[in-house]
Amino acid sequence: MDLLKPVWACRSAGFAQKGAGKGRRMALAPQPASTADPRPQNDEQTPVDAPGLQVFVFALFFIFGGITSLNDVILPKLKELFTLNYTQAMLVQSCFFLAYLLIGIPGAALVKRIGYMRGATVGLLIMMAGCLLFIPASRSATYGLFLFALFVLASGVVIVQVVANPLISLLGPPRTVHSRLTFAQAFNSLGTTIFPRVGSGLILGSLAGISAAELSGPALDAYRTAETQMIVTTYLVLAGALAVIALVVWLFRNRLKGERHERTSVAEGFTLLKRPRFGYGALCIFLYVGAEVAIGSLIVSYLMQPKVLGLVERDAGNMIMYYWGGALVGRLIGSAVLRVVSPGLVLAGVSCGAIALLLITSMSTGTVAGYSLLAVGLMNSIMFPTIFSLASEKLGPRAADGSGIINIAIFGGAVVPLLTGWLADASGSLGAAFMLPAACYAVIAGFGVYARRPA
C-alpha cells in the first residue's frame, strides 16, 4: 500500500564519479531535458531551509503507509459480514484508491496554494474525519457507508502524500536525495508491517464462531453491528492520533523556508504526460500499485485455502506482515544496491522476480505456494521509488504537478484489484487470478530496461 510513495531521486555520488550512473531528478553534471518535453525544466533545485523536518516527513510516510495497509485486514472482515464475493469485496480497495483519481490534481493545487505544512495539516484532518465516519457506518451496518468512510479517509491520505513525495527531495543536498528517498520508504514499509499485525488482532480476532451467511433479518443486522465495533474502536484510536499530529504540524506551519511552486493550470499539469519517460512511468505506477494492492488484498483468503496453508482467518491476517515486511527489508538492502547498480536494471530484475514467484504460487500448493506469494513483497520493495524517480527526472519547480499526476496514477489500486477479484470469481481460482498482477510486472520490467539511461 505501498502505497507508498516517494519522489524524486538523483544519481548517487558513486555513479556520478564513474560517469555511468542513472540521473534521478538531479545530476551532479547538468543534463539537457528530454527533447520530447514541451517545457524543458532546469534541473537545479536549491534545498529548502528546514532543519529537523525530515523526521516529520518520515512520520508522514509511516502513517499513510500503515493506514493504507489496514485495508488488507478490513477487506476479509467485511467480506464475511456482508457475504460478498471477491469482486464485491474488492470495492474496498476501489473506493479507497478512487480518491487518488479524484483528489490527486486538486490536492496538488491546494498544496501549491497554501504550502506543504498547511497542506499536510488539511490532509491529516480529512483523514481524521474519515476515521470518525466509521461510527455511523457501524451503527447502520451498511456496507456502502463503510466504503464512503474509506473514500474520505483516502482523500486525506492523497493530500498528505502529495506533500511528502516532493518534500523529502528538498530537505537536504541533492547528492543524498536518493538515500533520503529510500530511507523514507523504509518508514512507509514499517507502517505497512506494523499496522496489519495490530489490526489483525483487533479486527479479525473478534470474529464470532458463527457466520453472517447463517443469519437473516434483525439477527443479521445485530451481528454486523456487534462485529464491526472493533473496526470502529481501531479507527477511533487512529482519529485521536491524527488529531494530535495535525496540531503539531500546524504549530510548525511556518517552519519551512524557501519553498516555491510554479503556478500552472490543471491542463498544464497533464502536459507532463507528453514526456515519454514520465508517461510510461505513470503507467507503471498505475500497474505497480494495482498489482501490489491486489496481492495484499487476497493474501488472507489465499492462505486460508486448505490446499495452501489452511489457516484460520486471524492467523492468515497475521501473515500479512511478512508480505509488507519483505518490502521493508528490500528497501533497506535496495538503498545500498541502487548506489552501485543501474536503477533501471534493478527494477527490471525485481519485476522478473515477482513474475517468477507468482508463477510458482499458481502452479504449486502448500507451504511453497503460500510463502512464494508472501515473498513478492520483497520484490515490490524498490519498485515505487525507482519508477517514480526514473519517470520524474528534472521536473524542477513543477514537482507538485508531477506528484499530483503520479497520485492519479495510484488509482491503479482501484482498478487492478477489482479486475483480479472478477478473474478469481470467473475462474474459481485465486492462483489463476494472480496472472493479472504478473502481467503488470511484465510491463514494469520493460520500463526498467527503457529507463536504464538518464533522461
Q: Tens of pLDDT along 290-331?
A: 999 999 889 989 999 999 999 987 888 888 889 988 988 888
- Residue-level pLDDT at 205: 61
**Superfamily per CATH, domain 13-25+53-450:** MFS general substrate transporter like domains (1.20.1250.20)
Residue 267 has pLDDT above 80, yes or no: no
The closest alpha carbon to 323, from 118, 73, 95, belongs to 73
Region of poorest pLDDT, from 18-27, 96-105, 362-371: 18-27
Higher pLDDT, 448 or 137: 448
Q: What is the pLDDT of residue 379?
A: 95
**Confidence class for position 399, pLDDT limits 50, 70, 90:** low
Q: Is a pLDDT exceeding 50 seen at residue 133? A: yes
Question: What is the distance between the alpha carbons of residues 360 and 379, in angstroms, rounded to a whole number?
Answer: 14
Q: How far is CA 326 from CA 352, 353, 442, in A?
A: 16, 13, 20
- Contact call for residues 164 and 187 (beta carbons, < 8 A): no
User: Computed from CA positions of residues 331, 332, 335, 338, in that sequence, does the dihedral angle turn out positive or negative?
Assistant: negative
The residue type of 425 is D
> What was the pLDDT predicted at 38?
36
Residue 36 has pLDDT above 50, yes or no: no
pLDDT band, very low/low/confident/very high, at 212 (cuts 50, 70, 90): low
Q: Is residue 55 predicted with pLDDT exceeding 60? A: yes
Q: Which amino acid is at 106?
A: P
Alpha helices in 133-216 (DSSP H): 134-140, 143-170, 177-203
Residue 178: band (very low, low, confident or very high) from pLDDT cuts 50, 70, 90: low
Q: Is the pLDDT of residue 445 over 70?
A: yes
The amino acid at 424: A
Q: CA-CA distance, 352 to 278, in Å (whole number)?
A: 22
Q: Which residue has the cell 538492502?
A: 333
pLDDT at 32 over 60: no
Cα distance between residue 27 and residue 43, in whole Å = 8
Asked whether the predicted pLDDT for residue 44 surpasses 70, the reply is: no
Lowest mean pLDDT across 66-70, 77-81, 187-191: 77-81
Residue 5 has pLDDT above 70, yes or no: no
> Whole-angstrom Cα distance, residue 142 to residue 15?
55
How far apart are alpha carbons 302 and 316 in whole angstroms? 9
Position 132 scores a pLDDT of 94
pLDDT, mean of residues 232-243 = 89
For residue 424, the model assigns a pLDDT of: 92
**Residues 6+ away with beta carbon under 8 Å from 347:** 382, 383, 386, 387, 390, 444, 445, 447, 448, 451
- Mean residue pLDDT of the chain comes to 79
Least confident of 72-81, 252-261, 308-317: 252-261
Confidence bin at 239 (pLDDT 50/70/90)? very high
More confident residue, 357 or 177: 357
450 falls in which pLDDT band (50, 70, 90)? very high
Distance CA 263, CA 162 (A): 16
Distance, CA of 323 to CA of 36 (rounded, Å) = 39
pLDDT at 19: 37
**Which has more pLDDT, 397 or 118?**
118
pLDDT at 147: 93
Name 10's Cβ contacts closer than 8 Å, sequence gap at least 6.
Answer: 23, 24, 25, 26, 27, 28, 174, 175, 177, 178, 389
Q: Is 204 exposed, middle or buried (0-12, 13-18, 19+ CB in 10 A)?
A: buried
Local confidence band at 395 (pLDDT 50, 70, 90 cut-offs): low
Amino acid in the structure at residue 125:
L
Alpha-carbon gap, residue 146 to 139, rounded angstroms: 11
Residue-level pLDDT at 396: 64
pLDDT on residue 210: 60
Residue with cell 493530500: 159
Q: Is 50 exceeded by the pLDDT of residue 42?
A: no
Domain ranges of the chain: 13-25+53-450
Q: What's the pLDDT score for residue 369?
A: 93
Provide the pLDDT confidence category of residue 74 given band limits of 50, 70 and 90: confident
421 contacts: CB under 8 Å, gap ≥ 6:
85, 86, 87, 88, 89, 90, 294, 297, 298, 433
Q: Round to whole Å and give the CA distance between 3 and 290.
A: 10
204 and 97 Cβ atoms separated by less than 8 Å? no
Contact of 9 with 25, CB cutoff 8 Å = yes
- Cα separation, 345 vs 327, in Å, equals 18
Give the ranges where 305-337 is alpha helix by DSSP (H).
313-318, 320-337
